Amino acid sequence: MLLATLIGDVVASREVGDRRALHRALVDALGEVNEKFAPAHPLRITVGDEYQGAFVRIGDAVRASLALRVRLATVDVRHGLGWGEVATLQDAPRVEDGPGWWAARAAIEAVHADAEKPATRWRRTAFRTQEPGAAMLTPALEAALVLRDHAVQSLDERSVSVLSGMLAGRTQREIAEALQITASAVSQRIRSDGLTAIVAADRAWQEESA
């Protein structure tokens, strides 16, 4: 079955002091994203700080990667996205294999490699596929992810909170009340940080997923 695969992990996880708190944060975030996007194979922790899941549509995987990054903003996570055949080798415990997972693994390895380069150390998401029918999508999707990563990486914690509210469909007034700041302050952050563009791109992937 062709699926959009997602593999994620925590950046510099060995430097996290409270590993139990990190695990709880991952479990909570994955549960929320599973509820929102209903992936074909629910996101789950596989080992340590690594997690994975698979979606019917590429757009859902792209949106889920942003949702996880925003939800886990204080932790910092990276993702490899893939597209390809996925096979279930065993149900309990679940073991999966196939080109879809190989593509996602290649993608997150590319993110790891970029993190070692000063010019691209802000990269957090990449996409790979070997499927002939989707190969032409890779350059356009990679370009979109590069721009999104750069935009999100520049946000401070308060702006990420504003972005989270926007992605949830809240009004500027509702966001301001939740953060206990003025609506004017919210509006200023939206304009100065380009949050509308990030949300518009996310909405475009939502239309692709419809």
Domain spans in the chain, listed from the N-terminal domain onward: 2-135
Task: Tell me what the pLDDT averaged over the chain comes to.
Answer: 92
Q: What is the pTM of this model?
A: 0.93
pLDDT tens-place string over residues 146-167: 999 999 999 999 999 999 999 9
Containing 43, the helix (H) or strand (E) segment is strand 41-47
Does domain 2-135 correspond to CATH entry 3.30.70.1230? yes
What was the pLDDT predicted at 90?
A: 79
Q: What is the DSSP string of 135-159?
A: TTHHHHHHHHHHHHHHHHHT--HHH
Containing 15, the helix (H) or strand (E) segment is none
pLDDT tens-place string over residues 200-209: 999 999 876 5
> Of the candidates 132, 153, 166, 138, which has an alpha carbon nearest to the alpha carbon of residue 58?
138
